[in-house]
Structure 1
């Protein structure tokens, strides 16, 4: 979901003091140790960090107790930007702000001073103490053995960025998305070593990109195309309220049955077409003929809209109504059945169930997710709240079936004439007026998995 007209505003906001965006590439020890601690958690799968720690002399009660304490620290605070159309702007996460401050400060005292108020003070103190305790351990086990290779690699990454003027692709994204950025604020990019591994990780938030890189990585075009992919999510996120409202209106006024699910998909599709398509082609001199994304809906749609995206970039145009209409048309003409495929529509889900274990079951069945909401009650208020979202609506009835089914039928006109009985087990999927799917599971004996498989 990207940008629109408002070009005069765009030039005012992106050309601050005549500057271009600045990309600062660095190593952040504080961030690296924080990620190291996260990977040592018993809730994390096996990984290179955990392997190195478990075979070391530090795998003793003193340090496992610190890991256990760290694992219990609560960072999952968040807040939404309520005035923006639903799902169009990322919910702010306290953990992202903490990582931002780790990157942008040089010591834990400065980190604490900058981070106070984001999380409770006791949590912040315990977090800083955990990082302090594990910094020498991280350096001995991970950083120092890979120091020479990693620092040489970091120099290579900086050189590649400068030689290929990576900041220009940031400017391309700002114009395409009709987004805003104060170029006096640098984009801070933090790398840390990922030994004995293939590939790299990537995450972007605020004005930051972070990545663990394999210590023998010798080709940077993949790294930078993924980095720009993630950065384009930030640029999309920073569109103005006016731009986002316009885009939202274009989708909602569309007559296409596919417009809602096309809208849900667009953020990831555009980042893929731009980063993995356009940036990669510019850096490599030819288009990537392999998959651009490991989810078929995103990969196939990104490739289909790529000529449209390139045409807008070449013409220095921002996303407008014509772009949105063409995007929806491409989706509808090429992939009309996607609005019925569970693997697609369950990526964006709102689930009501009075059995909280159902949420875990659905998570296991549909691991890939973009936006999710869960409520453990089926009431007038919870249904009304669900109806305000464009997400796939899932209601699992397993208690007081007759009463709950009557309530659900009263709230969705599409169910009014449907012949369904509360004393019979069933699974139904109904296309709603808001162009989302409603799934109702009336559970008696079968598991949730069995009922989903009946759809």
Structure 2
């Protein structure tokens, strides 16, 4: 099923010149849906509606469990950065996103394979294609066919809702506010798939794609479209021209506020939430949403606090500028002065050095929400210097040759020149560095890392 929504918006923000039509393709992609289905059957995924249906079916046998295990072993995730852009301001390209994009935009697995050569190894691509082929009839029998009538009706209703509410206007609003642009010859591909027996929908965006699993009994589309626009605004944010990115980065980096770094790290989600879950929802519903706009506390509260300022910019068709950024930092500083001392706030943006690989899993379990993360297994002068080049929260766990490693850390940070430590005692220590990021040093001897992390107190 493929339904086109033809939309108009303005592009070329400096002149706001009239642009050609942009196409939003709303569709169901069987290939993508089967891929997502297999992902959810993985041992690495928690219990979910797909896994529940599969495990109670006749297909839950040794043969297909072996295929799932083989899928788990495929190396599908590689990435590369856009080095000229300020760190964190543009999402690295992910091979898994390219594969999903190609699953959506090709008509059969042979075309998918031809388009995807070079993204992963040919052997991996062949195995992936074979797994999707094996599981396609399984997915159709268990998931798609029982929900086909409801789902296909939903696609028609969703398309009608998009047309009636001029969804394309919100895309234009985002382009203007973010001071960004979009090549109108590139269509947006929006792929939905059914999510039976679910209490909510999923949402993900990348490249020129938005994908969502939609519960089959969903009746109101306000939430769905506000979240869809939220995800689309992430794409627009990442597509800001380099000059805009550099100006935003400079404004944050030259701010005298000690809160500017963590305000910057929160920016992308705070803006998308305020604009998508705040502004778009209010326009669709006729009134502001009084519920939480985002499940993560810090994003939710910041998005709501900046909403009046953002609404003013939108009403005046003003793009994000230095005054907006300074106002944003001021709101963070005045409204939430304790946030930079709360582990739950600073840990989602982390760079961890530990010589014990299991420590990374422990930290992931403790701080499940994460936005940007880096992990290093070598504690050395080189890796510390690499860590210092980022403004992420810095966590160094010392569990071997403690005295030697603590001396290395002590000599690597000028902020630690007056620091006194006892390498024979377990401790956690933290300090706000000159780059306005938090540094945590954990000296581990006999206790578990879990117990030491639970005792962290920020100074």
Q: Once the two structures are superposed, what CA deviation does each residue of 1:263-296 show, in whole Å capped at 9, x if it has no partner?
A: 0001000000000000000000000001001111
Cα distance between partner residues in 1 of 2:325 and 2:255: 9
Structure 2 portions without partners, runs of 5+: 1-9
Corresponding residue for residue 87 of structure 1: 88
Contact 1:233 1:271 in 2 (8 A): yes
- Partner of 1:374, secondary structure, is strand
State the 1:256 CA deviation: 0.3
**Counterpart residue number, 1:253:** 254
Q: Does 1:63 align with 2:61?
A: no
How far apart in 1 are the matches of 2:304 and 2:22? 28
Deviation, structure 1 residue 21: 3.1
Residue 207 of structure 2 corresponds to 206
Distance 2:103 2:14 in 1: 32
Question: TM-score, length-normalised on structure 2?
Answer: 0.95
| Structure 1 position 451, deviation (Å) | 2.3
Corresponding residue for 2:344?
343
For the residues of structure 1 that align with 2:364 and 2:349, how far apart are their CA atoms? Answer: 12
- For the residue of structure 2 that corresponds to 1:209, the secondary structure is strand
Aligned equivalent of 1:266? 267
Q: CA deviation at 1:248?
A: 0.4
d(CA) in 1 for partners of 2:450 and 2:130? 44
Q: CA RMSD in A?
A: 1.4
Counterpart position of 1:3:
none
Rounded to whole Å, the distance in 2 between the matches of 1:231 and 1:264 is: 19
- SS of alignment partner, residue 10 of structure 1: coil
| Alpha-carbon distance change, 9 to 411 in structure 1, aligned in 2, over 3 angstroms | farther
Shift of 1:109: 1.0
Shift of 1:60: 2.1
Map of 1:192 onto structure 2: 193
Q: How many equivalent residue pairs?
A: 447
Partner Cα distance (1:69, 1:32) in 2: 19
Determine helix, strand or coil for the equivalent of 2:318. Answer: coil
Indicate conservation of the 8 Å contact 1:257/1:435, yes or no. yes
Partner of 2:289: 288
What residue number does 1:167 align with?
168
Check whether the contact 2:11–2:182 (CA below 8 A) recurs between aligned residues: no
Per-residue CA deviations over 1:140-197 (Å, capped at 9, x if unaligned) read 1111110000000110000000111111111110110011210111111000000111
Q: Distance in 2 between matches of 1:448 and 1:71?
A: 28
Deviation at 1:10, TM superposition (A): 2.6
Task: Identify the residue that residue 10 of structure 1 maps to in structure 2.
Answer: 13
Identify unmatched segments of 5+ residues in structure 1.
Answer: 1-6
Task: Supply the distance in 1 between the matched residues of 2:184 and 2:34 (Cα, whole angstroms).
Answer: 30
Question: SS of 1:225's equivalent?
Answer: helix
Per the alignment, residue 299 of structure 1 pairs with: 300
- In the TM superposition, residue 134 of structure 1 has moved relative to its aligned partner by 1.1
Offset of 1:20 from its aligned partner?
4.1
Q: Per-residue displacement from partner, 1:117-159 (whole Å, max 9, x unpaired)?
A: 0000011111111111111111111111100000001100000
Q: Give 1:9 deviation, angstroms.
A: 5.2
Residue number in structure 1 paired with 2:363: 362
Q: Is the 8 A contact 1:202 1:227 kept in 2?
A: yes
Asked if 1:23 is matched to 2:24, the reply is: yes
Q: What are the Cα deviations for residues 46-75 of structure 1, in whole angstroms up to 9, with x where unaligned?
A: 222112222222222222222221121111
Contact kept in structure 2, 1:352 and 1:376, CA below 8 Å: yes
Which string of whole-angstrom CA distances, capped at 9 and with x for unpartnered residues, describes residues 327-354 of structure 1?
Answer: 0000000001100100000010001111
2:418 maps to which residue? 417
Report the Cα distance in structure 1 between the residues aligned to 2:377 and 2:425, rounded to whole angstroms: 22
Q: Is the 8 A contact 1:209 1:231 kept in 2?
A: yes
Closer, same or farther in 2 for the Cα pair 1:355/1:279, shift >3 Å? same
Paired with 1:20 and 1:412, the residues of 2 have a C-alpha distance of 54
Tell me the CA shift for residue 425 of structure 1.
Answer: 1.9
- The corresponding residue for 1:325 is 326
Query: C-alpha distance in 1, partners of 2:165/2:28?
Result: 21
**Counterparts of 1:29-44 in structure 2 under 5 Å?**
29-44=30-45
Question: Under a length normalisation based on structure 1, what TM-score does the superposition of the two structures give?
Answer: 0.96
Distance in 2 separating the partners of 1:163 and 1:111: 34
Give the aligned partner of residue 353 of structure 2: 352
Higher deviation after alignment, 439-448 or 238-247: 439-448
* Conservation of the 8 A alpha-carbon contact between 1:21 and 1:170: no
Q: Is the 8 A contact 1:20 1:167 kept in 2?
A: no
Residues 223 and 281 in structure 2, CA contact (< 8 A), matched pair in contact too: yes
Query: For residues 65 and 359 of structure 1, what CA distance do their matches in structure 2 show?
Result: 28
Aligned to 1:4: none
Deviates more, 1:386-395 or 1:412-421: 412-421
Contact 2:355 2:378 in 1 (8 A): yes
Highest relative contact order (Cα 8 Å, sep 6+), 1 or 2?
A: 1
Contact 2:11–2:19 (CA<8 Å) still a contact in 1? no
Aligned to 2:311: 310
Distance in 2 (CA, whole Å) between partners of 1:188 and 1:227 is 12
